[in-house]
Structure 1
Amino acid sequence: MSGHNKWSQIKYKKAITDSRKGKVYSKLSVQISLAAKKGVDPDLNSELRQVIDKAREAGMAKENIERAVKRGSGQDGKQLEEISYEAYGPFGIAIIIDVITDNRNRAISDIKSLLNKFGGKLADSGGVSYLFEKKAVIKLIGNEEKWQLAAIEAGAEDIEELDGDLLIYVAPSDFQDVKNKLSARGGQIESAEIRWQPKEAIELPDDKRQRVIELLKD
């Protein structure tokens, strides 16, 4: 009986790992498709090359990478579009959801279902977007003073230390330029993205914060 329980635990842990990998691959696939809209040749499209390298490091299969490139370029006959939705999550928190989809109706249906599951709902256009601003965020490995100075010289608007690394906030228009300058000076960039940044953050109790995290993970 104990052997059966042990096998059940192994299968359960494997299912969790596979689920997490699936979410990572799904996110990478979207990033590849989005980058491929600007050109399918990684030698001419540095953004595509970077995300493909990231996908390979994560163990994403070659055929899945190629499929994502074709999807982004429209070679598979489907046209991707980017849509932003505004919503209220649990406890009234404001959320902006950026979606890349080839089926607008399916996307809105999935979003409504997920929000309902956690007690949220869609907001009217402009209902929450004024609470955010778009920022480019670069995570640089290490927080030595030389990298803080390098980030400022490269054009950073703000810098934050996080677990021994640096989060560098940049205007979206300066994103690529700052990335290139930091890389040229030998900086190790762990991640870089343009995202919605709240103008003002609020603290939630642990139980409520966990509920919000569960929604965002899904």
Structure 2
Amino acid sequence: MAGHSKWSQIKRKKGANDKKRSAMYSKHIRAIQAAVRSGGSGDPAGNLSLKNAIAAAKTDTVPVDNIEGAIKRALGAEAGAAEFKEVTYEGYGPGGTAIFIEALTDNVNRTVADIRAVFNKRGGALGNSGSVAWQFEKKGVLLVRDASETVQELAIEHGAEDIQESEDGLEISTAPNDLYPVQDALVGGGFAVESAQITMIATNTVAVSGDDVRKLLTVIDALEELDDVQNVYSNADLPDEDDE
């Protein structure tokens, strides 16, 4: 979620227990299959949605065999198979934070009911369409462990909009269409890219402290556990000790 370092998000997901990791893999498989069906192609070179879904899956260490199997199953899906729709929801969390949710569902009524229940039980509120979306923008984000000037110059030359240094390396932000050109340039230059994916970035953040930190993380965890929810973003700026 925004407010967290992207490095911290990856560490958190990689450290998930087996049950959570299995659920996370299932969500990626669903996203890959939906991208294949909506894009009409199992080739990521000609299907940007699929390319993004595969990149996200690899970032969360989904095995290549699982990814390839999902694509094959989607290409061979029979008529009448469940069709998943991309939907977004917006809400408010503890500490005055904004929450933006991306879901993939075959039953919108079920999904909105589940999301509303999480907010109602854990101190948040489901908002109307457009209530908080304006506080986020879609960006490409790459994580590179090499923080050298050469990497930064190469990234900027090929479209990087912003570069942030952390103890783990560089977080490079791009316009969505420039994500893969920057990635290709870095890989072509011999630099390893830890991850590259399209995400939502908060345009402004809200500092959260005290008990609101625990409450907010509880809301986000509960939303992420819902089968239909793919991604949860917040504009929370959390204390360093809660980054992981």
Q: Aligned equivalents of 1:52 and 1:91: distance in 2?
A: 29
Alignment of 1:100-139 (within 5 A): 100-139=104-143
* Corresponding position: 1:54 with 2:58: yes
Q: Partner residue of 2:87? A: 83
Q: Aligned equivalents of 2:96 and 2:159: distance in 1?
A: 35
What percentage of aligned pairs have identical amino acids?
32
Q: Aligned equivalents of 1:43 and 1:195: distance in 2?
A: 19
Alignment of 1:63-82 (within 5 A): 66-67=69-70, 70-71=73-74, 75=78, 77-82=81-86
Q: Aligned equivalents of 2:100 and 2:211: distance in 1?
A: 22
1:149-195: CA deviation from partner (whole Å, max 9, x where unpaired) = 11111110000112321111101122222222222222222222222
Q: Partner residue of 1:8? A: none
Q: What amino acid maps onto 1:160 in structure 2?
A: Q
Q: Partner residue of 1:20? A: 20
Alignment of 1:159-178 (within 5 A): 159-178=163-182
Deviation of residue 59 (structure 1)?
A: 4.7
Structure with larger Rg: 1
Classify the secondary structure of the residue corresponding to 1:157.
strand
Q: Aligned equivalents of 2:29 and 2:141: distance in 1?
A: 20
Q: Partner residue of 2:189? A: 185
Deviation of residue 85 (structure 1)?
A: 1.1
Q: What amino acid maps onto 1:214 in structure 2?
A: T
Q: Partner residue of 1:33? A: 33
Q: Which moved more, 1:131-140 or 1:27-36?
A: 27-36
Matched residue count: 202
Taking a change above 3 Å as real, the CA distance of residues 65 and 121 of structure 1, as seen in their structure-2 partners, is: farther
Deviation of residue 91 (structure 1)?
A: 2.5
Classify the secondary structure of the residue corresponding to 2:17.
helix
Q: Aligned equivalents of 1:196 and 1:167: distance in 2?
A: 14
Taking a change above 3 Å as real, the CA distance of residues 93 and 51 of structure 1, as seen in their structure-2 partners, is: same
* Corresponding position: 1:209 with 2:213: yes
Which stretches in structure 2 are left out of the alignment for 5+ residues? Answer: 1-15, 223-244
TM-score between the two structures when normalised by the length of structure 2: 0.70
Q: What amino acid maps onto 1:125 in structure 2?
A: S
Taking a change above 3 Å as real, the CA distance of residues 55 and 158 of structure 1, as seen in their structure-2 partners, is: closer
Q: Aligned equivalents of 1:92 and 1:72: distance in 2?
A: 44
Runs of 4+ residues deviating >3 angstroms? 41-46, 48-53, 55-62, 67-76
Greater RCO (CA < 8 Å, at least 6 residues apart): 2
Q: Partner residue of 2:96? A: 92
